């Protein structure tokens, strides 16, 4: 097994109260609020096309003030990807993902994936759109592959236990499962009817299919 990709150091985002014209006080920016602004811009414009000027304009502060908070936009990208990946890998540490029949563990992971995706939608969306153009992006892609490998291993275990039909390619199944869950970013809108039932609905569809046997 190859060594796990080295993790970039966690970014340091300082807080500061910005002042506008004539000393008007603006909201206090902290790690969370400033990161949210950056992620929205990255998702709208694309990371490569977003400049520090774009970020400072969106935050309503000068570029020099923005640099007081962070060293650059890749630090914000790294913080956003950390947040998304921490949510996903945290699922694998949950008791229900580690104990019990393989199929039940797999279903739990899928359900929780949907919950993490919908609760951290902007951050997971950004994660799924990285292309590997920077060291941080390549690290994130490697972590995504590691997550898929964990799912593939669990599918293989379920096949061996007779819980999944024989002949299923675990890696293909893992990619199809991830593709199904990840597609939610394209159409999911918070607050729409059925949102609360979505995790269970996704598990039911991937477990039972949508076309009844002939």
99-113: per-residue pLDDT in tens? Answer: 999 999 999 999 999
- Determine the Cα–Cα distance for residues 77 and 80; give it in Å rounded to an integer: 5
Judge if 135 and 188 occupy the same domain: yes
Of the pLDDT bands very low, low, confident and very high (cuts 50, 70, 90), residue 37 is very high
**CATH number of the domain bearing residue 34:** 1.10.10.60
Mean pLDDT, the chain, whole residue set: 84
- Determine the Cα–Cα distance for residues 209 and 170; give it in Å rounded to an integer: 17
Q: In angstroms, what is the C-alpha Rg of the chain?
A: 20
What is the dihedral sign for C-alpha 158, 163, 164, 167?
Answer: positive
Crossing angle of helices 31-45 and 52-59, rounded to 10°? 120
Q: Which tens digit of pLDDT belongs to each residue from 41-53?
A: 999 999 999 999 9
Q: In this structure, are residues 56 and 91 in contact, taking their beta carbons and an 8 Å threshold? A: no
Q: Which domain holds residue 115?
A: 80-208
Of the pLDDT bands very low, low, confident and very high (cuts 50, 70, 90), residue 6 is low
- Determine the Cα–Cα distance for residues 159 and 23; give it in Å rounded to an integer: 66
Judge if 52 and 103 occupy the same domain: no
Say if 11 falls within a structural domain.
Answer: no
Of the pLDDT bands very low, low, confident and very high (cuts 50, 70, 90), residue 2 is very low
Judge if 64 and 130 occupy the same domain: no
The distance from CA 16 to its chain's CA centroid, rounded to whole angstroms, is 27
Q: In this structure, are residues 18 and 60 in contact, taking their beta carbons and an 8 Å threshold? A: yes
74, 104, 122 - which closes a domain: 74
What is the dihedral sign for C-alpha 145, 50, 125, 83?
Answer: positive
- Determine the Cα–Cα distance for residues 55 and 154; give it in Å rounded to an integer: 41
Q: In this structure, are residues 144 and 152 in contact, taking their beta carbons and an 8 Å threshold? A: no
Judge if 121 and 53 occupy the same domain: no
74, 98, 117 - which closes a domain: 74
Confidence (pLDDT) at 30: 67
Of 91, 129, 121, nearest to 184 by C-alpha is: 121
Query: What does the DSSP 8-state code read for residue 8?
Result: P
Query: Could you give the 3-state DSSP secondary structure of residue 124?
Result: helix
51, 74, 97 - which closes a domain: 74
Judge if 150 and 132 occupy the same domain: yes
Q: Is the pLDDT of residue 7 over 70?
A: no
Identify the residue whose tokens are 């007779």: 162
What is the dihedral sign for C-alpha 6, 80, 49, 190?
Answer: positive
Q: Which tens digit of pLDDT belongs to each residue from 54-65?
A: 998 998 888 887
């Amino acid at each position: 097994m190859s060594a796990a990709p080295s993790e970039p150091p966690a970014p340091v985002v300082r807080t500061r109260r910005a002042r506008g014209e004539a000393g008007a006080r603006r909201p206090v920016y902290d790690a969370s609020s400033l990161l949210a602004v950056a992620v929205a811009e990255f998702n709208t414009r694309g990371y490569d096309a977003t400049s520090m000027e774009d970020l400072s304009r969106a935050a309503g502060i000068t570029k020099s003030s923005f640099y007081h908070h962070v060293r650059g936009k890749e630090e914000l990208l790294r913080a956003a990807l950390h947040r998304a990946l921490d949510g996903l890998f945290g699922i694998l540490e949950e008791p229900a993902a580690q104990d019990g029949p393989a199929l039940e563990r797999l279903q739990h992971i899928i359900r929780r994936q949907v919950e993490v995706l919908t609760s951290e939608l902007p951050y997971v969306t950004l994660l799924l759109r990285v292309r590997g153009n920077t060291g941080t992006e390549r690290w994130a892609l490697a972590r995504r592959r590691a997550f898929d490998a964990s799912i593939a291993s669990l599918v293989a275990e379920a096949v061996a236990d007779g819980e999944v039909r024989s002949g299923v390619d675990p890696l293909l199944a893992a990619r199809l499962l991830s593709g199904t869950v990840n597609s939610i970013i394209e159409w999911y809108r918070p607050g729409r009817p059925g949102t609360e039932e979505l995790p269970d609905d996704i598990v039911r569809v991937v477990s039972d299919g949508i076309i009844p046997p002939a």
